[in-house]
Amino acid sequence: QSVLTQPPSVSGAPGQRVTISCTGSSSNIGAGYDVHWYQQLPGTAPKLLIYGNSNRPSGVPDRFSGSKSGTSASLAITGLQAEDEADYYCQSYDTSLSGRVVFGGGTKLTVL
Amino acid sequence: EVQLVESGGGLVQPGGSLRLSCAASGFTFSSYWMHWVRQAPGKGLVWVSRINGDGSSTSYADSVKGRFTISRDNAKNTLFLQMNSLRAEDTAVYYCTRDSHGLGDHDYWGQGTLVTVSS
């Protein structure tokens, strides 16, 4: 089991909005560590999508947004497009694990 | 342009050893923490290890502690992962990643190298 909990799958029709949750605890997200999100397209390496809870790297469309509150974080995707179909992972750090990196289990987004 | 290129993966028998390399370019390598992250076939991302900029501090996941050693050669802009006593459950694609600012996001990823542990 992953330290950070994500739903295994979400889906939505083109143009719709979907959200992916990432639930942690007081030793990681709740301890103040930032949450980052990665997109992994089929057969490729993961790519940074959101950093520092809500910031987009250059080149990432503003359809993608992140937020954090308490011990959880969320990734929202608006105006869903076929090319958004991918696996999404959240990531943070955990004080109980000597500040080690922790990932969520990943969420498969299907565009219907 | 930042580039991370892993090499050294392959097929190895249980109990064997393998050394992965990650050649970095396009940035001041010694200024960044670096990590190894792995992904078993069909599974999610799992952090393996990290090393700070000058190599003086390292950290490992419990599953590899005592078997894997992370190191770096800043003169050659190369990150390493020495993997000993390999087990079937170590089978995965291993990615080298750059940490943007120490305990930060992983802003660049290599293409990965596949390690298969099987008899």
% of chain B surpassing 70 pLDDT = 100
Residue A99: is its pLDDT beyond 70? no
Residues of B at the A interface, defined by Cβ within 8 angstroms: 35, 37, 44-47, 50, 59, 61, 95, 100, 103-112
pLDDT digits (tens, 9 = 90+) for A6-20: 999 999 999 999 999
Asked if the Cβ–Cβ distance from B112 to A91 is below 8 Å, we say no
Measure Cα distances from A35 to A52, B42, B103, B104, B110 in Å. 6, 24, 11, 9, 21
pLDDT digits (tens, 9 = 90+) for A24-57: 999 999 999 999 999 999 999 999 999 999 999 9
Taking the CB of residue B2, how many other CB atoms lie within 10 A of it?
A: 11
